[in-house]
Amino acid sequence: MGNTLQSSKKPKRIDSLTGLKAIAMLSLFWWHSPIPNPPADLGARACEILFVASGFLVGYNYFYKGMPCSLCRL
- Whether 64 and 10 have beta carbons less than 8 Å apart is answered as yes
CA separation for the pair 66, 37 (Å, rounded): 45
Predicted confidence (pLDDT) per residue in 31-61, tens digit: 888 888 877 788 888 999 999 998 998 888 8
Supply the pLDDT for residue 47.
92
Percent of the chain beyond pLDDT 90? 15
φ, ψ of residue 11 in degrees (nearest 5): -65, 140
Higher pLDDT, 29 or 64: 29
Closest listed residue to residue 56, CA positions, set 2, 23, 11, 26: 11
